[in-house]
């Protein structure tokens, strides 16, 4: 049996994933940078998102399920007054409005985003 490519390294890398890069691309770059034989990440960040992407190498990949069960938090920026066909900045603007929610309306809506939530990503148009 031939030697597997890469070095046997074990451990975690906590990568601050940049905007515009997929999580899988970040994983590929990290794996090549460390010449790692085995690597995996503990979740996917949208290419538009920046943030911490835990990457496991070697034996540490066995602990990835424990990271998935961890508490996650998100920070975001809102642009009021537009609606796009993809519900994000990459979509085509379909509606515009000069109306803005009041602080009380925002506070009332936040309760819908607290607790255990089954996240459903918006559909991406063809």
Per-residue pLDDT tens digits for 105-125: 999 998 888 888 887 776 655
CA-derived radius of gyration, the chain: 19
pTM above 0.75, yes or no: no
- Which residue is catalytic, options 16, 46, 69, 112? 46
Active-site residue flag, 69: no
DSSP 34-54: TTBS-EEESS---TT--EEEE
Q: Report DSSP state, residue 66.
A: H
pLDDT digit string (tens) for 69-86? Answer: 767 777 888 889 999 988
Q: For the chain, what are the domain ranges?
A: 11-68, 82-113
Tens of pLDDT, residue by residue over 26-63, are 999 999 999 999 999 877 888 888 888 999 999 999 98
What are residue 62's phi and psi, to 5 degrees?
-70, -20
Closest-CA residue to 55 (of 67, 73, 47, 69):
67
């Amino acid at each position: 049996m031939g030697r597997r490519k890469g070095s046997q390294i074990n451990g975690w890398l906590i990568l601050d994933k940049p905007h515009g890069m997929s999580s899988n691309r970040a994983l590929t770059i990290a794996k090549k940078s460390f010449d790692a034989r085995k690597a995996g990440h503990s979740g996917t960040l949208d290419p538009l998102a920046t943030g911490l992407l835990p990457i496991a190498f070697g034996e540490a990949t066995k602990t990835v399920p424990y990271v998935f069960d961890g508490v996650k938090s998100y920070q975001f920026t809102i642009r009021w007054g537009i609606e796009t066909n993809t519900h994000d900045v990459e979509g085509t603007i379909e509606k515009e409005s000069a109306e803005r929610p009041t602080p009380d309306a925002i506070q009332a809506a936040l309760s819908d985003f607290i607790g255990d939530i089954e996240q459903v990503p918006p559909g991406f148009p063809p």
